[in-house]
């Protein structure tokens, strides 16, 4: 898989091929702390992951999608975790999982590409920033090791002046993600090509989804990430790309296997990290949420508010953070989406800031330069 000769010859930014089902990117930082950003590309349904079963509107609004939670154990008086996420449920019990709900980036439209760009750059609108918040985070960390790479390209969140390596799970030559993003914005005003492109990229997302090879690929990705994060002088920051979250149809079955895949990835990551898990923080986030109501094909369409997760031994978990807006029709954003009441960029800045012992204001200003002034969220990491 990792061919040393090629690696030496090509140096940083080299492209490798592995058989894994997700793309991973690693960067080195001289710290004992580990941080993993798992991006859910395709707009994961937060309501189908951490369900507000205590909301009086939940069953009526979600219809068949509510059935997954009929006998699910509750996290607290309001929320229940999808029953497929057994590892994560165990982490919650051990106070190593913290969920944040009704959360969103500053992006308020419903294009995957634009939404992911905002999530990854940490800007307030698509394509406003040219580098990613994870790369800017690296610039704040002591750096001793060169970055290494195992992906077709460096994802936007890790792009920037700090050199970063990447690792490719699929055979070339797919077009680079950067070109795909640029094509997306070039097609934005062209009704025909825009529509075709959305479909094309949605299909592409499905090709690297969590369910590939019955979840084994996802677990293998978690396992590999753990190895690279625990290696002597290895990476301290990793980003894992997951796809397959764009559940426009037959969501119940699709989201179920996606979440089991994600759960397996986290289980493998935790197992592989061993004692390092105690110094680890995993952030799971998506570009936006999905509609509250089920559509005509048993799925949901692009929405706004969703959920995020902080996992790991470093996390002060066992809680769901939410300023719950409610699911009644009048409470919905634009009459259709979960209304965001928490800012994802505040959550990220607060979480990584405290995880890496950066002062909240410094981290926030560096990671999200255009962020609306807001108080950092306290007590996200274990004291």
Partner 1 sequence: MADASIALNRFGLGGRPGDDPGANPRQWLAAQLQRYEPRPQQIAVLPPTSQIAAELADYFEELRQARPQNPGRRQRGPARAKPAMPDSMQSVPGQEMSEKPMAGEAMKERERANDPAAQVRRFARRQAREHYAVAVGARATVALTSPAPFAERLVHFWANHFAVSADKLQVIGLAGAFEFEAIRPHVMGKFGDMLHAVERHPGMLLYLDQAQSIGPNSMTGQIAQRRRAGGNNLPGLNENLAREILELHTLGVRTGYGQSDVTEFARAMTGWTVAGLGRGRGARFAGTDGEPGRFVFAERLHEPGMRTILGKRWTQQGEGQAAAVLDMLATHPATARHIATKLARHFAGDEPPPALVAQLESAFLKSGGDLPTLYRVLIDAPECWAPQPVKFKSPWEWSISAMRALGAEQLQANAANGLLTQLGQPVWRPGSPAGWDDVAAAWAGPDAVMRRVEAAERMAQRTRDTIDARRRATQLFPGALSDTTAQAIARAESPGQGVALMLVAPEFMRR
Cβ distance to partner 1 smaller for residue 30 or 175: 175
Closest distance of CB 195 from partner 1, Å: 8
Cβ distance to partner 1 smaller for residue 196 or 361: 196
Cβ distance to partner 1 smaller for residue 34 or 112: 112
Closest distance of CB 104 from partner 1, Å: 27
Closest distance of CB 376 from partner 1, Å: 34
The sign of the torsion formed by the CA atoms of 271, 275, 276, 280 equals positive
Closest distance of CB 189 from partner 1, Å: 6
Cβ distance to partner 1 smaller for residue 82 or 248: 248
Per-position DSSP letters for 310-328, written without gaps between them: EESTTB--SEEE------S
Closest distance of CB 255 from partner 1, Å: 22
303, burial (CB in 10 Å: exposed 0-12, middle 13-18, buried 19+): buried
Partnered with residue 298 across adjacent β-strands are 249
Residues whose CB falls within 8 Å of the CB of residue 172, separated by 6 or more in sequence, listed in order: 15, 17, 152
Using CB under 8 A, list all residues that contact partner 1: 173-176, 178-180, 182-183, 185-190, 192-193, 196-197, 199-201, 203-204
Closest distance of CB 109 from partner 1, Å: 17
For residues 337 and 354, what is the distance between their CA atoms, to the nearest angstrom? 31
Specify the residue for token string 């690929």: 217
Cβ distance to partner 1 smaller for residue 204 or 336: 204
Cα Rg of the chain (Å, integer): 19
Q: Which of 249, 302, 220, 256 is nearest to 41 (CA)?
A: 302
Cβ distance to partner 1 smaller for residue 79 or 197: 197
Two tokens, residue 355: 């995880």
For residues 353 and 360, what is the distance between their CA atoms, to the nearest angstrom? 5
């Amino acid at each position: 898989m990792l061919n040393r000769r090629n690696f030496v010859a090509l140096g940083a930014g080299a492209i490798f091929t592995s058989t894994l089902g997700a793309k991973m990117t690693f960067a080195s930082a001289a710290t004992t702390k580990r941080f993993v950003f798992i991006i859910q590309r395709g707009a994961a349904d937060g309501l189908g992951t951490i369900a507000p079963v205590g909301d009086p509107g939940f069953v009526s609004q979600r219809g068949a999608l509510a059935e997954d939670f009929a006998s699910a154990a509750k996290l607290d008086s309001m929320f229940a975790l999808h029953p497929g996420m057994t590892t994560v449920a165990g982490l919650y019990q051990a106070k190593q999982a913290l969920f944040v709900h009704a959360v969103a980036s500053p992006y308020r439209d419903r294009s995957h590409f634009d939404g992911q760009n905002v999530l990854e750059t940490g800007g307030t609108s698509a394509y406003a920033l040219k580098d990613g918040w994870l790369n800017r985070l690296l610039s704040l960390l002591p750096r001793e090791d060169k970055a290494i790479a195992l992906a077709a390209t460096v994802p936007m969140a890790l792009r920037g002046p700090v050199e970063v390596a990447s690792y490719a799970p699929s055979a070339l030559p797919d077009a680079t993600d950067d070109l795909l993003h640029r094509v997306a914005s070039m097609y934005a005003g062209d009704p025909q090509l825009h529509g075709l492109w959305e479909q094309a990229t949605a299909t592409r997302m499905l090709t690297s989804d969590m369910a590939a090879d019955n979840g084994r690929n996802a677990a293998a990705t978690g396992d590999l990430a753990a190895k690279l994060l625990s290696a002597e002088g290895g990476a301290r920051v990793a980003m894992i790309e997951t796809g397959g979250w764009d559940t426009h149809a037959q969501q119940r079955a699709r989201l179920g296997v996606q979440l089991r895949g994600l759960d397996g990835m986290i289980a493998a990551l935790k197992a592989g990290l061993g004692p390092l898990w105690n110094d680890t923080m995993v952030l799971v986030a998506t570009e936006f949420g999905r509609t509250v109501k089920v559509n005509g094909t048993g799925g949901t369409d692009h929405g706004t508010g969703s959920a995020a997760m902080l996992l790991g031994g470093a996390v002060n978990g066992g809680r769901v953070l939410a300023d719950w807006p409610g699911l009644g029709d009048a409470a919905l954003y634009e009459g259709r989406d979960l209304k965001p009441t928490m800012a994802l960029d505040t959550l990220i800045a607060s979480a990584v800031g405290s995880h890496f012992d950066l002062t909240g204001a410094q981290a926030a200003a560096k990671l999200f330069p255009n962020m609306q002034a807001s108080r950092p969220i306290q007590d996200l990491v274990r004291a």
